[in-house]
Structure 1
Amino acid sequence: MSLYKKRLKLVKGEGVYVWDENGNKYLDAIAGIGVAILGHSNEELASAINEQMKKLVVAGPMFHHEEKDEALEELSRFLSFEYAYFGNSGTEAVEAALKFARLYTGKKEIIAMTKAFHGRTFGSLSATWKKKYREGFEPLVPGFKHIPFNNVEAAKDAITKETAAVIVEPIQGEGGIIPAKAEFIKTLRDLTQDNGALLIVDEVQSAFRSGKFLAIEHYKIQPDIVTMGKGLANGIPIGLTLTNFDVPRGKHGSTFGGNPLACKAMETTLKILRREKLIEKAEEKSISIEGDKVIMTRGKGLMLGILLKENAGKYVEKLQERGLLVNTAGNKVIRLLPPLIITKEQMLWVKETIEGVLNG
């Protein structure tokens, strides 16, 4: 039995392309909602995973293994955090971050943003804004409140000595690909430090895509906690919560988190990103969509949102008919999260195709 009988059925992928069951070819400009940053069927990654399958797949949280060391060593070439906690998804990474904030500060209040998306477990869902995700699951976790994104005065009013943490996306994904303003991020950093609260930066969707390893690097501030997932292992489930403070042993754990297979996939993915300079090249491949129906193109690098004057959903199927896969972020935004291996020429084809459909 299928829950998705009316949806496109994909059967294989290679590079930036995927094929459906009828042999139709599509340029995949959504990549599993930002997951396939190296594209599909990367041979080097497939070989590494295959070899790891023959060696050691699971170890359990009570043991150590070299694949974790190697993954963290590769990560350290990009970032400097003292502690790393593995999970199996971005949602789990956020859930861990919220737990750690309450544990470390001894306080309960978590401040999140309007239009934010942080996941679908009870803690991460409590930080998520959109009503349709929350409906039917209330009451959610108490102690959460939302303030308007990019509103400095609201932040000043909300963050107090009672605040355990503020959680923010440097570029809101599900909310419509909306970058944070520099003044807003600086205000959050200053206020959290002044009030003994932690600043959690959710990079689950925005990591790798903006021209920097983390999008928060554009703001030149240091968060207390960073969450990652999605493209970190190019499709192998993984989540990562980074801190500069320790969490007492036994207070948090995961049966599958940090397993050798996922760590090998993470190490290999990061190695390819570094060697091929794919992160640095993201900005030069960026595009802007023009047309009477377009208000603006926003985002950064290869995390883009095309804000329209009308509903964007009706254009998703039309673009699919032209061989281009995209999705939406909010009612009026076409979202682009293509693999980082995409070429400038392919991105120009994406631009031409979208403009052709919008203006046709």
Structure 2
Amino acid sequence: MTSLFNNYARRAVHLVKGQGTVVTDDQGKEYLDFTSGIAVVSLGHAHPTIVKALQNQSEKLWHISNLFESPEQEKLAESLTKDTDLSYALFCNSGAEANEAAIKLARKHTGKHLILTFEKSFHGRTFGAMSATGQDKIRQGFGPLLESFETLPFNDVDALKGAANENVAAIMLEVIQGEGGVNSVEPAFAQAIMEACQQHGILLIIDEVQTGIGRTGTRYAYEQTALKPDIVTLAKGLGGGFPIGALIAGKDLFDTFGPGSHGTTFGGNPLAVAVAQTVVDHVFEPTFLQDVQDKSAYFKAQLQSVLPTEKFSVRGNGLLLGIHSNEEIAPVIQKAEQQGLLLVPAGTNVIRLLPPLTVSKKEIDQAVAILKNILN
């Protein structure tokens, strides 16, 4: 008997405590958490510096609304846009909200409505974000979607060239499609996107909700490509487990979002900003990002050394990795859980690996040993 809707396929595990990469259920069993709350707990569970930041802020101020000045928001905005071609930030509560804001900003700024998105993409479950998402299973049953989205094959240069024209307001994509199968943008496709944007006056929206804030080994995943976004959306790892989303955009778009054009009651509240600033201060350190890249290379090498290549391949960057299988992977995820390793899928044939960015090589070795035992 439950008083909850059945919209989540919940697992029969009740987690009650977490520290770093390890979580514990109500029976005292420990698990390696290679889900990170789906790429959220970027610095691991109960990171002491985050805990302290939240405790300190909770004793001062929780909420004042965005009717008042916020030096703390100003500082976080500067941290997110420093050394980029982006200049301004808007804070909200989630990735879907950030993507809704991006859609509104692009349409209002250009005066155009058509936005090009891609198959297997995922941008959220609100009506606008769902309309932008290139997966039928997300859209089914909800009736007519928001108009003016065209979904193209991912990494298909010819399809992009055929669809891009002066009527397009924006192109919206993930550098690595996390939910859609850990599919990375190819260099030729990234170049074609930039050419289309420059030729036709199209804005580029990059959804970094899952890939941003160090997840791929750089501050933002687009920094590893030829892509130069006009708008970037963030959430998940930005708050290290506390709800916050953000949109950051170039200076040319500043006047488009004037007073009254967009808003949020809880967005950028002092608790969320204090936590996010702590996360960014940690993650954006060059030595921290290099450590993520080193652990990524180690993780990939370990996986490739134990997995039969005729059945599996490893893709992705940083600590957003996917094991692509010839078979459905739901039984693998279930067996891994039984052996103390928590995983999430990315479609029916991909195991998604999302450990905290603070994961140790010893913990990587433990996870690889479990996967080797199951997959072989």
**TM-score bracket for the superposition, by shorter chain length:** over 0.9
Q: Which residue of 1 aligns with 2:244?
A: 238
Alignment match of 1:215 (pick from 218, 221, 229):
221
Q: Corresponding residue for 1:89?
A: 94
1:290-311: CA deviation from partner (whole Å, max 9, x where unpaired): 2266331000111000001100
Structure 1 CA distance for aligned equivalents of residues 11 and 155 of structure 2:
38
Q: Is the 8 A contact 1:59 1:65 kept in 2?
A: no
Q: Report how far residue 204 of structure 1 moved.
A: 0.5
Q: Indicate the SS of the match to 1:282.
A: helix
Residue 224 (structure 1) aligns with: 230
Contact 2:81–2:88 (CA<8 Å) still a contact in 1? no
Corresponding residue SS for 2:323: strand
Aligned match of 1:339? 356
Residue type matched to 1:229 in 2? A
5+ residue gaps, structure 2, are none
User: 5+ unaligned residues in a row in structure 1: which ranges?
Assistant: none
d(CA) in 2 for partners of 1:68, 1:7: 39
1:271 equivalenced with 2:281 (yes/no): yes
Shift of the 46–5 alpha-carbon distance from structure 1 to 2, 3 Å rule, reads same
1:168 to 170, 173, 176: 173
SS in 2 for 1:280: helix
Deviation at 1:75, TM superposition (A): 2.5
Most deviating of 273-282 and 24-33: 273-282
2:262 maps to 252
Contact 1:168 1:200 in 2 (8 A): yes
CA shift, 1:65, in A, is 2.0
3-state DSSP of counterpart to 1:297: strand
Task: State how 1:297-316 maps to structure 2 within 5 Å.
Answer: 297-316=314-333
TM-score, scaled relative to structure 2 = 0.92
1:60 aligns with 2:65: yes
Task: Report the Cα distance in structure 2 between the residues aligned to 1:22 and 1:40, rounded to whole angstroms.
Answer: 19
Structure 1: distance between partners of 2:55 and 2:85: 30
> What is the aligned partner in structure 2 of residue 125 from structure 1?
130
- 1:279 is paired with a residue whose SS is helix
Match among 10, 16, 34 for residue 21 of structure 2? 16
Q: CA deviation at 1:343?
A: 1.2
Give me the whole-angstrom Cα distance separating, in 2, the residues matched to 1:308 and 1:50: 44
Deviation at 1:275, TM superposition (A): 4.6
Q: Work out which of the residue numbers 146, 169, 187 in structure 1 matches 2:151.
A: 146
Identical aligned residues as a percent:
40
The whole-number CA distance in structure 2 between the counterparts of 1:349 and 1:277 is 24
Pick aligned residue for 2:203 from 173, 181, 198? 198
Query: Secondary structure in 2 aligned to 1:277?
Result: helix
Rounded Cα–Cα distance in structure 1 between residues aligned with 2:107 and 2:350:
35
Map of 2:340 onto structure 1 = 323
Q: Distance in 1 between matches of 2:104 and 2:59?
A: 35
Partner of 2:56: 51
Q: Which residue of 1 aligns with 2:292?
A: 282
Q: Which moved more, 1:348-357 or 1:66-75?
A: 66-75
TM-score scaled by length of structure 1: 0.96
- 2:23 is paired with a residue whose SS is strand
Aligned length: 359
Residues in 1 aligned to 2:147 and 2:340: alpha-carbon distance in whole angstroms:
45
Q: After superposing the two structures, state which structure 1 stretch, 71-80 or 349-358, moved more.
A: 71-80
Q: Do 2:96 and 2:123's aligned partners in 1 also have CA atoms closer than 8 Å?
A: yes
**Take 2:90 and 2:373, find their aligned partners in 1: how far apart are those partners?**
45
SS in 1 for 2:232: strand
User: Is the counterpart of residue 355 in structure 1 residue 372 in structure 2?
Assistant: yes
2:312 counterpart residue number: 295
Residues 1:76 and 1:101: Cα distance change in structure 2 (over 3 Å):
closer
**Which residue type is aligned with residue 128 of structure 1?**
T
How far apart are 1:74 and its partner, in Å? 3.0
